[in-house]
Amino acid sequence: MPDSRIDFSDIPESTDAELKRARRVGRPKSGDAKQLSSEFRRLVRTWKDERRATSSSTMIAMHPAYQRIIGFGLPAVPLILAELRRELDHWFWALKAITGEDPVSPERRGNMKEMAEIWLEWGRQRGYVR
C-alpha cells in the first residue's frame, strides 16, 4: 500500500512544547548517544542488506531492523535525518511514526527527493539538523 493511502489519523500530532520536552528528556547521555549511534548504523546496514529490492512501503517499514529504529523514539530522529541527508531512502514512515508529524503535503508525496528536503527543513526548524 503506498504511503499516501495509509491512515495515520490515529497518531496524535505533537505540540512544539511536547517535542522540545521530549528532545530534552529523551536525549541520551554522551555514552548512550555513542551506543545509540553505533546500534543505529548496525540496524541501517541490516535493513538495507536484508530488505532486497521492493517497492512496497509496508514491506520496507515492517522490517524488524526498521522497527527497532522506530523503537528508539525521538533520539533516533537526528540520526535518521543525517542518514536521509547522506543517502535518499525510505525514512518517511519512521519519521512520521516517531514524531507524529508529516510536513509533506499530499501533492509532494511520491517525490522522494522533495520529501527528503521537506523533512530536512522540518528538522532544521526544530533543531534536529544543523
Residue 25 CA, distance from chain mean position: 19
Quick one: CA dihedral 87, 73, 101, 25, positive or negative? negative
27-81 pLDDT, tens digit per residue, is 455 468 889 999 999 999 999 998 877 778 888 899 999 999 999 999 999 999 9
| Residue 18's pLDDT band (cuts 50, 70, 90) | low
With a cut of 90, say whether residue 83 has pLDDT above it: yes
- Assess contact for 80 and 91: CB atoms under 8 A: yes
- pTM: predicted TM-score of the whole model, two decimal places: 0.75
3-state percent helix, strand, coil for the chain, nearest multiple of 5: 65, 0, 35
Q: Hey, where are the domains in the chain?
A: 15-125
Q: What pLDDT score was predicted for residue 1? A: 41
